[in-house]
Structure 1
Amino acid sequence: MTTTHVKPTASKQAGESLLQVTDLTKHFPIRRGLLQRVVGAVQAVDGLTFDVARGETLSLVGESGCGKTTTGRMLTRLLEPTGGTILLEGEDITHWSTGKMRPLRREVQIIFQDPYGSLNPRHTVGTIVGAPYHLQGIKTERGVKAEVQELLELVGLNPEHYNRYPHEFSGGQRQRIGIARALALKPKLIVADEPVSALDVSIQAQVINLLEDLQDELGLTYVVIAHDLSVVRHMSDRVAVMYLGNLVELADRDELYTRPMHPYTTALLSAVPIPDTQRRTKRERIRLEGDVPSPVNPPPACRFHTRCWKAQEICKTEAPPLVELAPRHRVACHFPENAEGPGASDPAGLASSTSPEGSLGAAQEPPA
């Protein structure tokens, strides 16, 4: 049995920024009628601002529909932003054309959530992983086949799998194929959209360890989109919490897990499963009432005030700015929690989960 190793805390964000995002916005128009008039808009992402340092892992977390995947697709320019700016190594790529973006595809790649739907079932593994070389017109000294086989070995697959088809692999092995395809062009930034959510729990730890080993070996920078807060704790340097298209909290991993300040973050962490029954019974479980409001007509001011137990009148009339309430800890809340004093709460009961003994277990994958 293998276990995930917990990523050591690092201050990488103090270094040079690889990616800078300012007021990033994406609204999908709603059209109706014969003339397809615009009658509204789905406010999927509304004013995100953050940066990612070289070699850092930034995780985006939140409920389904909060805009995480839309953000990731804008960062890779698979979606055109409605507003804001995206700077990659200081260059504004926000509205680059498809032709201008082609060389940039070598620098930015994406790992898709579904290892079944993201691979063409009619193509062999060699064709899938070798496609980036042909699309970019890259010539290699040893040939594309040798490069692809080396990539397969790098991600833990047998080079002899070159001529096999996706249906001959397990879910974890298919995700490794997707990772190999993303690594083909030696990118600097990889957006991983729920990279382990579609996998068995026994396989998740293997893929997490693989991604971290590749980061150390190749100097990669990750933006990870995830639901599982236990996985996020193992992989991240910093965590950004999103709610209904807004960024509500951004902090170093350990700081956020031990001292969450936004009520929404506190509620999320209180829902993290804990195997230790004694610790589980001692913590307070916060259950949010009501459903997530529609992004077509979000609540005014603070979008979380309709479900927040601390909401007051100002929350309904004035949107809280994202301000730094502690070193490298930014929060958008009028009445933040744990904002004063050195004492740190641990609503998720995860403070003692930083040792390998508290990590996820994983069984070995069966051969294809």
Structure 2
Amino acid sequence: MTTPPDTFPAPPPRSEIDPLAVPGVEAPAIGEELLSVDGLVKHFPIRKGLLQRQTGAVQAVDGLTFNVTRGETLSLVGESGCGKTTTGRLLTRLLEPTAGKIVFEGRDISHLGEAKMRPLRRDVQMIFQDPYGSLNPRHTVGKIVGAPYRLQNVKTEHGVKRAVQELLELVGLSPEHYNRYPHEFSGGQRQRIGIARTLALRPKLIVADEPVSALDVSIQAQVVNLLEDLQKEFDLTYVMIAHDLSVVRHVSDRVAVMYLGKIVEIADRVSLYETPMHPYTVALLSAVPVPDTKRKGNVKRIRLEGDVPSPINPPPACRFHTRCWKAQEICKTVEPPLLQLAPGHQAACHFPENQAGATSTTPAATNQAGN
């Protein structure tokens, strides 16, 4: 059951709570650029010894460049440790970037102090991966979901309690849950509470970090459908971080594939799934389960050899060359730039797959029909 839009608690005028708002400047229209990232870097220093001198750094994110348009869903995918979650925390400024630029609605927020970032928190929110760890077990649902109103000093027409109850009803919970504690709910219900808290101030951008990975399969579809319904109803923009490529295909407008801190391919959903160009993307998609038993025998699994290199000392040039079946000498010495190889389709590879005029080669693969 959803609440009609006119009953949703309306936030106060932006000029009242945002000192960075520019008078006379309207919000961007649908399709315009909402977020822009240029050369984003995050290195975590490694310190040792009594004097805690830096001896190295974990290169979690190393030079990301992309943009997000208003109303779309951009998904970040890749193996564990590739830097997806770190990227999400950088976009929401929960982490300070080492270098690079984050521009939100035309304003550089890369290194804003806490005081200047606080009014922008209402526009950029995050849904956390763990529905158990993201909620304070000592607080009631009413206090958890109502926290954004208190922290931002936002007044609602009928009071915070009424606004929170409407939010709970909006995400499929009962208003009577207001006085209950998180331990009284299932995992799916807890994630709905987290979504309600995220929606409290009507944000423009939501970074969803693995929002369904900790949930039962039977509940995942409900949460995904809820997020899609909320996006349509309130014109939300999502940056979705996910492992499940089947979920990504269902919810995304564009997909960015990350490997060891870098984006190796970015394209619209249809183009990336039907004609992947980077060998790493080809290998990832070959691992997606095929529900159709008739097609399953024709799908070949590409098994990458070796482990993912350490982000403390990543391989030079192309970081994927140590596991790539197409790697040649140039891959070890020259880093491939992220170039547009087809309309709206970018890839960072010297020898891309599925490109017009290119010869597509795949390694000896194992037919899944025999597995």
Q: TM-score, normalised by structure 1?
A: 0.89
Q: Secondary structure at the match of 2:267?
A: strand
* Whole-angstrom distance in 1 between the partners of 2:296 and 2:109: 46
Residue 126 of structure 2 corresponds to: 110
Distance change (3 Å), C-alpha of 1:58 and 1:259: same
Residue 362 of structure 1 corresponds to: none
Cα distance, 1:15 vs structure 2? 2.7
Cα distance, 1:95 vs structure 2? 0.2
* Whole-angstrom distance in 2 between the partners of 1:341 and 1:155: 49
* Whole-angstrom distance in 1 between the partners of 2:295 and 2:335: 36
Residue 344 of structure 2 corresponds to: 328
Residue 113 of structure 2 corresponds to: 97
Map of 1:262-341 to 2, 5 A cutoff? 262-340=278-356
Matched, 1:42 2:42: no
Map of 1:108-257 to 2, 5 A cutoff? 108-257=124-273
Q: Secondary structure at the match of 1:172?
A: helix
Cα distance, 1:344 vs structure 2? 11
One-letter amino acid matched to 1:149:
Q
Distance change (3 Å), C-alpha of 1:342 and 1:234: farther
Render the CA deviation track for 1:287-324: whole Å, top value 9, x for unaligned. 00000000000000000000000000000000000000
Distance change (3 Å), C-alpha of 1:99 and 1:28: same
Render the CA deviation track for 1:160-217: whole Å, top value 9, x for unaligned. 1000110111100000000000000110000000000000000000000000000000
Instruction: Give the one of 75, 78, 81 matched to 1:65.
Output: 81
Aligned residues: 333
Residue 20 of structure 1 corresponds to: 36
Cα distance, 1:277 vs structure 2? 2.0
One-letter amino acid matched to 2:334:
E
Cα distance, 1:279 vs structure 2? 1.1
One-letter amino acid matched to 2:299:
R
Residue 104 of structure 2 corresponds to: 88
CA contact (8 A) 1:259 1:344 kept: no
CA contact (8 A) 1:302 1:318 kept: yes
Instruction: Give the one of 64, 72, 75 matched to 1:56.
Output: 72
Q: Secondary structure at the match of 1:66?
A: coil
User: Quick one: higher RCO (CA 8 Å, sep 6+), 1 or 2?
Assistant: 1
Q: Percent identity?
A: 79
* Whole-angstrom distance in 2 between the partners of 1:293 and 1:215: 37
One-letter amino acid matched to 1:39:
T
Q: Secondary structure at the match of 1:233?
A: helix
Q: Secondary structure at the match of 1:85?
A: strand
CA contact (8 A) 2:30 2:70 kept: no
* Whole-angstrom distance in 2 between the partners of 1:173 and 1:140: 25
Render the CA deviation track for 1:199-244: whole Å, top value 9, x for unaligned. 0000000000000000000000000000000000000000000000
Structure 1 residues 14-23 or 287-296, which shifts more?
A: 14-23
CA contact (8 A) 1:115 1:175 kept: yes
CA contact (8 A) 1:151 1:180 kept: yes
* Whole-angstrom distance in 2 between the partners of 1:150 and 1:177: 12
Render the CA deviation track for 1:38-68: whole Å, top value 9, x for unaligned. 0000000000000000000000000000000
Q: Secondary structure at the match of 1:224?
A: strand
Distance change (3 Å), C-alpha of 1:151 and 1:341: farther
* Whole-angstrom distance in 1 between the partners of 2:280 and 2:257: 9
CA contact (8 A) 2:352 2:358 kept: no
* Whole-angstrom distance in 2 between the partners of 1:343 and 1:160: 62
CA contact (8 A) 2:30 2:71 kept: no
CA contact (8 A) 1:21 1:85 kept: yes
One-letter amino acid matched to 1:20:
S
Structure 1 residues 270-279 or 333-342, which shifts more?
A: 333-342
Distance change (3 Å), C-alpha of 1:344 and 1:168: farther
Q: Secondary structure at the match of 1:145?
A: helix
Q: Secondary structure at the match of 1:282?
A: coil
Distance change (3 Å), C-alpha of 1:124 and 1:344: farther
Cα distance, 1:14 vs structure 2? 9.4
* Whole-angstrom distance in 1 between the partners of 2:190 and 2:270: 32
Q: TM-score, normalised by structure 2?
A: 0.88
Question: Can you give the 5+ residue segments of structure 2 that lack an aligned partner in the other structure?
Answer: 1-28, 362-371
Cα distance, 1:343 vs structure 2? 12
Question: Can you give the 5+ residue segments of structure 1 that lack an aligned partner in the other structure?
Answer: 1-12, 346-368
CA contact (8 A) 2:353 2:360 kept: no
Render the CA deviation track for 1:102-139: whole Å, top value 9, x for unaligned. 00001000000000000000100000000000000011
